Amino acid sequence: MSWYAIGAVDRALSRTREALLEPFDFWKWVKLAIIVFLLGGVSSYGNSSGYNIGSEDLKNNFPIIEPGKMPDLPFDMHNIAFSYIYQVPNLATVTAIIASLILLIFIFSYISSIMEFVFVESLVRNEVKFWAYSRRFLGKGFRLLLVRLAIGLVLLALFGIFLLPLIPLIREVSSDFSLSASLGGILWVVGVIILLILLALAIDSLLSLAIPLAIYRNKGILSAFKLVLGNFRKNWREVVVYWFVRLLLYIGVAVLAIFLFVGVALVLGLTFLIFDVALYFLFSSLLSELLLWLLLIPFIVIELILILGILFFLGVPLSVFLKYHMLSFLEAWYEDAEIPFFDTPAPEPKVKVDEPEPTF
């Protein structure tokens, strides 16, 4: 029996080579690198601090109360009393920062959802039209984002439901600590988290298979997802093998990426370090320490940007190969996928045969 996921590996390698090297197009690689970068999403964090009354404030500003005497209130006591009022703008600032971070995450997640469609279309057509494809898939990207948000909320609700049996256990532990009960609760939570992560990965994998169907079958993302689920019920063994092969491919790609990125980063880092040291000793006798570092800092920043850019550039073939593997598997697994690959020969036009005129 020929498994589609295994056969798709050779097809993905061939398509990756044709798309990226036959011929080599520098600007195509750059645009694909930008798409892959935007696919990665964003992670942000922030913190803020307001005025807090510490031990030094109490020691220096709080009045000393002697027995039988009313304290003399110094002027600084006014600042301490109203310091709580000054916390209100800080709370508003924290709320605004959190809301801004949520908005940024939403925006970048929306961009990432659009890039899912742009990446597929670019590889299928072997032609990267970044802005044209982005404008074309604004609606589909937004619907994909909503579907993923809904799936995330459902998984979060399932997590809460699975934790309900732990409520009596938590009450018992709070009153009478039991190591065995606590360990059982921890194992239960860990097991639930692992189960939900596996479920989320499986759903996301099927959703990724639905994206090309949404494009080339002109379906909504939910309708395409239903098509994938229907085919999964009929031929689920192929998908299980596909998941196993994908796991092996991810491991292999990760190992290759680590060796490639670390090697290139070391070579470039040592080269730039030698250049910076030579530059330092060359101008150390001519410039002061401050002017010397003002000269070197722009070079260091440019070098770091070049290293990161080259690493993203080198990561393009790995991402392209994995996406081509998914598309090649879908092409074989779902017979009516109708994916118009650039290397698929066009169907021969049907010759219209003149029908004989009816005789009366």
User: 221-234 and 236-283 are packed helices; what angle lies between their axes, rounded to 10 degrees?
Assistant: 120
Residue from 108, 107, 56 nearest 80 by CA: 56
**70 belongs to a structural domain:** yes
pLDDT at 347: 55
Is residue 126 situated within a structural domain? yes
Q: Is residue 137 part of a domain?
A: yes
Average pLDDT over residues 70-75: 47
Residue 218 structure tokens: 């002109």
pLDDT interval class at 58 (50, 70, 90): very low
Does 24 map to a domain?
yes
> According to the model, what pLDDT value does residue 204 have?
93
pLDDT digits (tens, 9 = 90+) for 273-325: 898 888 888 877 777 778 888 888 888 899 899 988 888 888 899 999 999 99
Count of beta carbons in the 10 Å neighbourhood of residue 203 = 17
More confident residue, 162 or 90: 162
Q: What SS3 state is found at 230?
A: helix
Q: Give the pLDDT band of residue 335 (cuts 50, 70, 90).
A: confident
| Percent of the chain topping pLDDT 70 | 78
Residue 43 clears pLDDT 50, i.e. is over it:
no
Task: Decide if pLDDT at 170 tops 70.
Answer: no
CA-wise closest residue to 205 among 236, 159, 234: 236
Residues 15 and 330: beta-carbon distance below 8 Å:
no
The position carrying tokens 């479920």 is 199
CA distances to 123, 163, 278, 318, 327 from 129, rounded to whole Å, are 11, 47, 43, 20, 19
Confidence at residue 177, expressed as pLDDT on a 0 to 100 scale: 52
In-domain check, residue 187: yes
The answer to whether position 360 is within a domain reads: no
Question: H helices of the chain, where?
Answer: 4-21, 26-39, 55-61, 76-81, 83-125, 130-136, 138-163, 166-175, 179-216, 221-234, 236-283, 289-314, 316-333
Distance CA(106)–CA(207), nearest Å, equals 19
As a whole number of Å, the end-to-end CA separation of the chain is: 56
* Cα 113 to Cα 110: distance, rounded to the nearest angstrom: 5
The total domain count for the chain is: 1
3-state secondary structure 120-142: HHHHHHCCCCHHHHHHHCHHHHH
Residue 24, φ and ψ in degrees, nearest 5: -75, 130
Domain containing 313 equals 4-333
What does the pLDDT read at residue 45? 33
Average of per-residue pLDDT values in the chain? 81
Share of the chain above pLDDT 90, in %: 53
For 169, the token pair is 């256990």
**Residue 211 amino acid letter:** I
Q: Where are the alpha helices (DSSP H) in 217-235?
A: 221-234
For residues 4 and 331, what is the distance between their CA atoms, to the nearest angstrom? 9
48: left (phi > 0), else alpha (psi -120 to 50), else beta?
beta
Tell me the two tokens of residue 254.
């990760």
Write down the pLDDT at residue 172. 60
Tally Cβ neighbours within 10 Å of residue 250. Answer: 11
Does 300 fall in a domain? yes
Q: Cα–Cα distance between 171 and 78 in angstroms, integer?
A: 45
Q: What SS3 class is residue 353?
A: coil
CA distance 111 to 105: 10
pLDDT attached to residue 334:
92
What whole-number distance in Å separates Cα of residue 238 and Cα of residue 231? Answer: 10
The span from the CA of 224 to the CA of 206, in Å, is 10
How do residues 176-207 score in pLDDT, each as one tens digit? 555 565 677 788 888 999 999 999 999 999 99
Is residue 357 situated within a structural domain? Answer: no
Residue-wise pLDDT tens digits, 207-255: 999 999 999 999 999 999 999 999 999 989 999 999 999 999 999 999 9
Judged against a pLDDT cut of 50, whether residue 161 lies above it is answered with: yes
Q: What pLDDT score was predicted for residue 312?
A: 86
